[in-house]
Chain A
Amino acid sequence: MSIKIQFKLNGEEKNFYVKPNMTLLELIREKAHLTGTKHGCGNGECGACTIIMNGEPVRSCLILAVEADGKEIITIEGISPQNLTELQKAFIDEGAIQCGFCTPGFIMAGEALFKKTQKPSDDEIKESLSGHLCRCTGYEPIFNAFKKVAKK
């Protein structure tokens, strides 16, 4: 049994036929062929699959594809297709990337945060990072990248 859903993906209206148990992560990766969103744990524990749904950062592995119906979804591919965003630039400059597997998730959390508040406090930044795991950097460069953008 497939269900037809329609939603805005990175600014474009899209239709998909999905199974009721398909996750949004699977849909994004397997049906929309957008592989920037990563599958790190499948249980909502690592944050690598974070996308923005109606302005909120969410774990796409915990959301069923059918829940996306009528929503507006942005993935790492959709945040700034032409140029690097300030946050992406800051990640490079601050050395916030090593293996890079967690990076898209952190970027999406950050983009959602900066859409809501241009100058988040240190605590707000920490909170937005806290659900994301990174095993390489020790987080400080990531925190610094966020702070760099927050200062501007």
Chain B
Amino acid sequence: MKKNLNVVGESVLRNDVVEKVLGTAKYIDDYKFDGMLYGFTVRSTISHGKIISINISKAKKINGVVNIFTAKDIPGKNFFPMILNDYPFLAENKVLFYGQPIALVVATNQEIAKEAAKNVFIEYEELEPVLDIHYAMKKNSPKIFGSDNILRKYIIKKGNIDQGFKEADVIVEDVFETNYQVHSYLEPNGMIAVPQPDGGITVYGTMQCPFYVHDAIANILNIYHNKIRVVQTTTGGGFGGKEDVPSLVAGHVALLAYLTKKPVKLVYTREEDFHGMSKRHPGYIEIKYGAKKNGKIVAAKVRYILDGGAFATLSPIVLWRGTVHAVGPYDIPNVLIESFAVATNKVPCGAFRGFGQPQATFANESLIDILAEKLKISPLKLRQINMLKPYSRTATNDKISNSCGFKKVLSEVIKKSKYEKILSKKNENLSTIKTGAGLAIAFYGVGLGAGGKYIDRAGAYLQIQKDGTVIISIGNTELGQGVFTVISQIASEILGAPYEFVKVLQPDTTRVPDSGPTVASRSTLMSGNAVLDAAKQVRERIDTMVLKLFNKSKGKVYSNGKEYFISTNPEKKIHYLEVIKKCFVQRINLSATGWYTGEDVSFDSETGQGKAYYSYTFSATVAIVKVNILTGVVEVKKIVSGHDIGKAINPKLCEAQIEGGVIQSLGYALTENLVLKNGIILNPSFAGYLIPTSMDIPEIIPVIVESKYSKGPFGAKGLGESPMITPSTAIANAIYNATGFRTKKLPVTPEILLELKNKK
């Protein structure tokens, strides 16, 4: 009994990888059904305008075209349910962005469907597009949303902002901007819909939120939820990009299948995926800090604007998370944050790992370095003076709990990166290669928080089979992050069943209740707790049986992961399989449903005060860079990224999340540069939009700190998003340290760096 835990905390191998390495795992495009037809989307070729006419006659004559449908063919409601419900499945009278779906072609193969889509002719009356957030907010701009183009705004008021700045000895302020980011999941979006004999429909696909998709299909077809089944297929990455928009794809394909009464496949080309699917919001951040000479920050003011694109979708909630975290992970008595998500005639933006935080972090973590320089205090020291610790208060006046390993995260990262040594090292004047170090820190509210509290619950179903193997259904999806493995470990630990015996099934809306979305780093916490609940019920029944076999009426039963024993006689053990066999003979129910709801949270919309999240994770990243000041090329040499995540259920998987997130953040910082002209994406391909390759990879040192959250499964909080938040800003700060060029824009392309150099 040396170890308390058998499998939780162990880096067991993932249980979904043999099929992936063999190529037998089935992603949506790998499925076929008898008589299956293929869909293709007709999209707007302008950024803003009225639809005068849609001419389908030529396209319809093409051999192999089955039919072409427009908004008027929708039997139900023409929008997918998402906060403001403003995004139509198919455009009716007007189009608001280049790439907006207008019609759907269904044909006997994809090639024909694509060809026919090209032959649907749409006559427009073009209108002036609103392309810039500042113009959009002006009185005289065309209005594409409401009377002011504002999709959502928030305010956070804490203390007295004017008094705070009066008290300050030093004030710094600046403006920062960030560009789009494209998720670039390797598997494009796609769905298959199969009509059912009862008039219902089953939809298979790649997604993060089967329950959102469920609601979307009910809306477009106007049929009951119990006639709709949504089944997850092996999913080739999501990163937020398969949160809201799969509802659109699913709605389209369900409509085609419903109207043709045939199975239909709709899988996007990469180019369509670039034009039509969601992106990370471009951010514009005005930020101001006031501090005392000793470094204590006494006031922070932020004006944060996100470019939402043509429809709201998730913008209100992305903005909310960004707003709550906008002044950084600091205890500041006087705060004023005003934030806006603004409508423009561009691709609608949605969720992307970090969800409004990386943009704000770029501003506040750059400005902290600027403040440190002005105060002549080291950037590290300034952060240490102001950073959140147990019992300190966030901008929303939320009290930080004991589950706060921030101090340890920072000290470990500083130590492992030799940050201070590199930071203070002088570069040779004549050398064209300059070395530098940069630091950025952040906090992250786990789960949906007060912004999504009514859907923050999760269910699970667990069943031990006759041979002792276990099946589990959860409502959160496996996108590659490893949640099935983590869930298996939790179930195995509680049941005392060998890890290899546990299998998590693909989410299916008929198997498990609505468990909310797979977002916000919530799956380990929410589905983990739901499975914990189910497994505990079954384990109780197993324990009763074990005691019976030991001829005891009460006592505590222990497990070593394959055998049970009791403390009074630890030498004698009974194998898991033997107990399960006995349970079956005795007709014991070895199945259970589990449920978990998040702790209560609050947010006052007038003041922005309240308990925004039930728990926070904390992170710090140091980047070491080499910059060639002749070419402007930045080479990242090393990144040390530390995260307090409560408990690492599987440390190796946690490190993998950190490594992957760091590299996405590196791309965000340096190379990923989406270019738009008149609202049209000019580089919709991996040849034009450059995500990091194996040649761009620095040494990465992941650091995990475990400051347990009392309500988390085994103390776990969450991890998925945290690694995406700080590395880009650490890189920007390192570039400044190396060169003296302070970038106010992301990505820092060589052109931007050379421009900064020339200005100097």
Contact = CB atoms under 8 A, between A and B. Distances in A.
Contacts of A37: 23
A51 to B, nearest CB: 11
A32 interface: no
Candidate in B479, B480, B482, B687 with the most chain A CB atoms within 10 angstroms: B480
A29 B267 CA distance: 14
Interface in A57-99: 75-77, 84, 88, 91-93, 95, 97-99
A135 B686 contact: no
B17 A97 contact: yes
A143 B187 contact: no
Contact of A43 (B13, B687, B693): B687
B270 A41 contact: yes
B676 interface: no
**B interface SS class:** loop
> Interface range on chain B: under 10, 10 to 19, 20 to 34, or 35 or more?
35 or more
Given A95-B652, A98-B660, A130-B695, A45 B23 contact: no
Interface stretch (A1-9, A102-110, A112-120): A102-110
B196 interface: no
B700 A140 contact: yes
B21 A139 contact: no
Contact of B663 (A35, A100, A104, A138): A138
A135 B22 CA distance: 19
B697 to A, nearest CB: 5
A134 B186 contact: yes
Contacts of B653: 95
B481 interface: yes
A143 B693 CA distance: 12
Contacts of B660: 98, 135-138
Contact of B186 (A40, A76, A126, A130): A40
B269 interface: yes
A133 interface: yes
B26 A100 contact: no
B186 A99 contact: yes
A142 B27 contact: no
B186 A98 contact: no
Nearest to B481: A98
Contact of B480 (A42, A77, A88, A98): A98
Contacts of B183: 135
A48 B30 CA distance: 14
Contact of A141 (B234, B269, B659): B659
B27 A101 contact: yes
B480 A136 contact: yes
B186 A97 contact: no
B585 interface: no
A150 interface: no
A45 B23 CA distance: 20
A63 B719 CA distance: 41
A99 B270 contact: no
B270 A98 contact: no
A104 B479 CA distance: 17
B284 interface: no
A137 B236 CA distance: 12
A75 B659 CA distance: 29
- Give the interface centre of B20, B479, B655, B685 by most chain A CB atoms within 10 Å: B20
A41 B479 CA distance: 19
A101 B13 contact: no
A9 to B, nearest CB: 14
A134 B663 CA distance: 10
A10 B163 CA distance: 76
A77 B656 contact: no
A92 B184 CA distance: 23
Nearest to B723: A138
Contacts of B23: 35-37, 75-77, 103-104, 107
A18 interface: no
B174 interface: no
Q: A-B pairs with the 4 shortest C-beta distances?
A: A36-B23, A99-B480, A100-B20, A101-B236
Given A84-B18, A92-B17, 5 more contacts: A38-B27, A38-B186, A48-B186, A130-B695, A133-B186
11 contacts: A35-B29, A40-B270, A46-B686, A75-B23, A84-B21, A88-B22, A100-B17, A100-B480, A101-B187, A132-B693, A135-B664
Interface of B: 13-14, 16-27, 29-30, 183-188, 234-237, 239, 269-270, 479-482, 652-653, 655-656, 659-660, 662-664, 685-687, 691-695, 697, 700
